[in-house]
């Protein structure tokens, strides 16, 4: 199967009632601001949403990473964290949870996902290597390149079509994979599949695809790892969309997904439902021992690896909570709800919506704005000014300049990502988000483009400053 058959009417979970499967015990106050205040705040922030203080944001959809609300059980677990330097009880709790949920016997805790990449890639990736992935996440790509290797994205064409109605747009192209392994042979230290595929819009990967990739890897003698930051969300899509899995439990789907892999890197800040943390999980004891050498150097002793004992306790409980089907039904349905509200309002989005975010299609939203004026960034700025909603541009600003020509790189998609923190906002908040987008759409002719005021040489999206492009026909606000 390649990305699956068209979804037709297969979508739509048969869950009722569908309200949040939790009640709220602790709340955090949100400060509301006026439109005038926001126009001034974003001007002072150089029209870069990363420069805003979170207290000036009403609904913060910058990322789903590290922004989850922990459960009462996770908070309680903090108190029983064992802070021993070596042999911490909490490490063994985490190890048991990983083995129970994912089936891997060896675990190296790390302070977050990119640290897991650093440790594993330092162990396995050498100069001149080539690492295939469906689509590398930015830090994953950067760590591959940091080792002097090349990151190869092998998602199929379907991943780049913003409206193709396919269930598994995160699938790796198995033909391309087979060809890459035949061509590069020994130069491929491993293959990685990112579930769900964040850089492709949070799109899921099918079980058939993971199984198919594993068969190819086995035939060619290359290990397969999952970048498993959003493994549970991926499993829920398999249950919902892949023939034969409707009656299989999420726990069994998760176990099957990982059964095809030799290990995984995990950012715990997503599906492990914690604010900081990550880990590497492995099947092979020898690889584990080789990786621990680097873990000690970069992260810490192998039984804490850059985390406090209490962080490992919370992550262990998070892994157990995230495979709860009621939780996942709520989670995936909440993201779908925002997608539906936006579509009803005529807001152009990338479809189908993924597991953790809705992506606005800035090129269809602002068709009159030239790409040199950063329509994605301009749209993200307008959402903030209009409703205090903070998303993030995934487009030209993020893509940076071509190192050879010095020109801006124009990616095929120019998007604004609205990522939903887990268990944090209610559907009422999402109504405000949809209304905000609709209001900007209604006055899209007034939206003004941006140009650089200050452009840092690397990772410019984090710290760049912009100004609005003067237009004779349009006012400044």
| Cβ 256 to ligand F0G shortest distance, Å | 20
Q: Which is nearer to ligand F0G, 362 or 369 (CB)?
A: 362
| Cβ 245 to ligand F0G shortest distance, Å | 22
| Cβ 142 to ligand F0G shortest distance, Å | 10
Kindly state whether residue 67 participates in binding ligand F0G, applying the rule CB under 6 A: no
- Using omega within 30 degrees of 0 as the cis cutoff, is the peptide bond preceding 17 cis? yes
User: CA–CA separation, 169 vs 10, rounded Å?
Assistant: 15
270 catalytic residue (yes or no):
yes
Kindly state whether residue 387 participates in binding ligand F0G, applying the rule CB under 6 A: no
- Using omega within 30 degrees of 0 as the cis cutoff, is the peptide bond preceding 196 cis? yes
User: 377 forms bridges with which residues in the sheet?
Assistant: none
- Using omega within 30 degrees of 0 as the cis cutoff, is the peptide bond preceding 76 cis? no
Residue 371 in contact with residue 385, Cβ under 8 Å?
Answer: no
User: CA–CA separation, 473 vs 477, rounded Å?
Assistant: 12
Vertex 106, ends 100 and 108: CA angle to 5°?
A: 110
| Cβ 305 to ligand F0G shortest distance, Å | 13
227 catalytic residue (yes or no):
yes
Residue range at the interface with ligand F0G (CB under 6 A); choices 14-22, 30-38, 107-115, 174-182: 107-115
Residue 387 in contact with residue 432, Cβ under 8 Å?
Answer: yes
Task: Tell me the DSSP string of 50-85.
Answer: GGS-GGG-SEE-S-SSS-PPPPHHHHHHHHT----S
**Contacting ligand F0G (CB under 6 A), which of 2, 48, 90, 112?**
112
Q: Which phi and psi angles does 182 have, rounded to 5°?
A: -65, -40
Kindly state whether residue 269 participates in binding ligand F0G, applying the rule CB under 6 A: yes
User: 151 forms bridges with which residues in the sheet?
Assistant: 131
Q: Is 466 helix (H, G, I), strand (E, B) or coil?
A: strand
| Cβ 415 to ligand F0G shortest distance, Å | 13
Catalytic residue (one of 85, 326, 368, 410): 85
Residue range at the interface with ligand F0G (CB under 6 A); choices 36-44, 108-116, 367-375, 444-452: 108-116
Integer angstrom CA distances of residue 104 from 92, 172, 204, 291:
13, 23, 22, 15
Residue 378 in contact with residue 449, Cβ under 8 Å?
Answer: yes
Kindly state whether residue 422 participates in binding ligand F0G, applying the rule CB under 6 A: no
Q: How many helices (H) and strands (E) does the chain have?
A: 17, 14
Q: Which is nearer to ligand F0G, 203 or 206 (CB)?
A: 203
Residue 363 in contact with residue 410, Cβ under 8 Å?
Answer: no
Kindly state whether residue 198 participates in binding ligand F0G, applying the rule CB under 6 A: yes
Catalytic residue (one of 64, 82, 153, 227): 227
Residue range at the interface with ligand F0G (CB under 6 A); choices 7-15, 28-36, 53-61, 137-145: 137-145
Q: Where are the alpha helices (DSSP H) in 147-190?
A: 174-184
Residue range at the interface with ligand F0G (CB under 6 A); choices 15-23, 132-140, 246-254, 332-340: 132-140
Residue range at the interface with ligand F0G (CB under 6 A); choices 111-119, 361-369, 394-402, 431-439: 111-119
User: What size, in residues, is the chain?
Assistant: 477
User: 131 forms bridges with which residues in the sheet?
Assistant: 151
Total residues in contact with ligand F0G, by rule CB under 6 A: 15
Q: Is 336 helix (H, G, I), strand (E, B) or coil?
A: helix
**Contacting ligand F0G (CB under 6 A), which of 52, 60, 61, 63?**
63
Q: Which is nearer to ligand F0G, 323 or 398 (CB)?
A: 398
Q: Is 119 helix (H, G, I), strand (E, B) or coil?
A: helix
| Cβ 356 to ligand F0G shortest distance, Å | 8
User: CA–CA separation, 325 vs 246, rounded Å?
Assistant: 12
Kindly state whether residue 134 participates in binding ligand F0G, applying the rule CB under 6 A: no
**Contacting ligand F0G (CB under 6 A), which of 4, 81, 109, 113?**
113
Q: Which is nearer to ligand F0G, 169 or 468 (CB)?
A: 169
Kindly state whether residue 194 participates in binding ligand F0G, applying the rule CB under 6 A: yes
Q: Which is nearer to ligand F0G, 357 or 378 (CB)?
A: 357
| Cβ 370 to ligand F0G shortest distance, Å | 28
| Cβ 388 to ligand F0G shortest distance, Å | 20
Q: Which residue has the tokens 């268990």?
A: 423
213 catalytic residue (yes or no):
no
Residue range at the interface with ligand F0G (CB under 6 A); choices 10-18, 135-143, 153-161, 424-432: 135-143
Kindly state whether residue 114 participates in binding ligand F0G, applying the rule CB under 6 A: yes
Q: Which phi and psi angles does 113 have, rounded to 5°?
A: -65, -45
Kindly state whether residue 68 participates in binding ligand F0G, applying the rule CB under 6 A: no
129 catalytic residue (yes or no):
no
Residue 10 in contact with residue 182, Cβ under 8 Å?
Answer: no
CB atoms within 10 A of CB 251: 16
**By CB under 6 A, what part of segment 276-295 binds ligand F0G?**
278
Catalytic residue (one of 229, 291, 308, 336): 229
Residue 177 in contact with residue 214, Cβ under 8 Å?
Answer: no
Q: Which is nearer to ligand F0G, 2 or 65 (CB)?
A: 65
Kindly state whether residue 48 participates in binding ligand F0G, applying the rule CB under 6 A: no
Integer angstrom CA distances of residue 341 from 11, 50, 353:
16, 26, 12
Catalytic residue positions?
Answer: 85, 137-138, 227, 229, 270, 461
Residue ranges binding ligand F0G (CB under 6 A): 63, 65, 112-114, 137, 139-140, 194, 198, 227, 229, 267, 269, 278
């Amino acid at each position: 199967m390649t990305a699956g058959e068209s979804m037709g009417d297969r979508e739509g979970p048969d869950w009722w009632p569908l309200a949040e499967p939790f009640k709220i015990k602790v709340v955090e106050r949100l400060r509301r601001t006026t439109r005038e205040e926001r126009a001034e705040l974003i001007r002072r922030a150089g029209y870069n949403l990363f420069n805003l203080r979170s207290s000036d944001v009403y609904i913060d959809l910058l990322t789903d990473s590290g922004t989850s609300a922990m459960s009462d059980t996770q908070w309680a677990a903090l108190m029983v964290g064992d802070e021993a330097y070596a042999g911490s009880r909490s490490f063994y709790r985490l190890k048991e949870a990983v083995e129970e949920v994912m089936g891997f016997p060896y675990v190296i805790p790390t302070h977050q996902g990119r640290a897991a990449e650093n440790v594993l890639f330092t162990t396995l990736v050498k100069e001149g290597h080539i690492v295939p992935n469906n689509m590398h996440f930015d830090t994953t790509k950067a760590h591959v390149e940091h080792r002097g290797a090349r990151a190869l994205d092998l998602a199929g064409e379907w991943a780049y079509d913003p409206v193709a109605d396919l269930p598994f747009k995160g699938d790796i192209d198995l033909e391309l994979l087979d060809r890459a392994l035949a061509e590069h042979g020994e130069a491929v230290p491993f293959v990685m599949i990112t579930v769900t595929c964040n850089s492709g819009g949070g799109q899921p990967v099918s079980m058939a695809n993971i199984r198919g990739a594993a068969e190819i890897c086995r035939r060619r003698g290359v290990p397969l790892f999952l970048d498993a930051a959003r493994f549970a969300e991926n499993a829920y899509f398999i249950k919902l969309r892949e023939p034969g899995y409707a009656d299989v439990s999420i726990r069994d789907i998760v176990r099957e997904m990982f059964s095809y892999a030799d290990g995984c890197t995990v950012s715990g800040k997503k599906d492990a439902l914690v604010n900081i943390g990550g880990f590497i999980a492995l099947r092979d004891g020898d690889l584990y021992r080789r990786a621990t050498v680097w873990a000690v150097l970069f992260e810490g002793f192998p039984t804490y690896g850059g985390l406090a004992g209490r962080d490992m306790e919370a992550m262990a409980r998070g892994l157990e909570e995230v495979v709860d089907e009621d939780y996942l039904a709520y989670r995936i349905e909440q993201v779908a709800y925002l997608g539906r509200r936006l579509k009803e309002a005529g807001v152009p989005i990338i479809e189908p919506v993924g597991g953790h975010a809705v992506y606005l299609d800035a090129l269809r939203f602002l068709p009159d704005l030239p790409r040199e004026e950063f329509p994605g960034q301009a749209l993200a700025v307008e959402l903030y000014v209009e409703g205090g909603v903070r998303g993030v541009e995934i487009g030209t600003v993020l893509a940076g300049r071509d190192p050879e020509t010095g020109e801006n790189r124009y990616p095929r998609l120019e998007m604004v990502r609205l990522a939903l923190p887990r268990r944090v906002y209610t559907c009422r908040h999402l109504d405000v988000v949809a209304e905000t987008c609709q209001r900007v759409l209604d006055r899209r002719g007034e939206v003004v483009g941006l140009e650089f005021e200050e452009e840092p040489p690397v990772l410019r999206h984090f710290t760049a400053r912009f100004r609005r492009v003067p237009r004779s026909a349009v006012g400044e606000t």
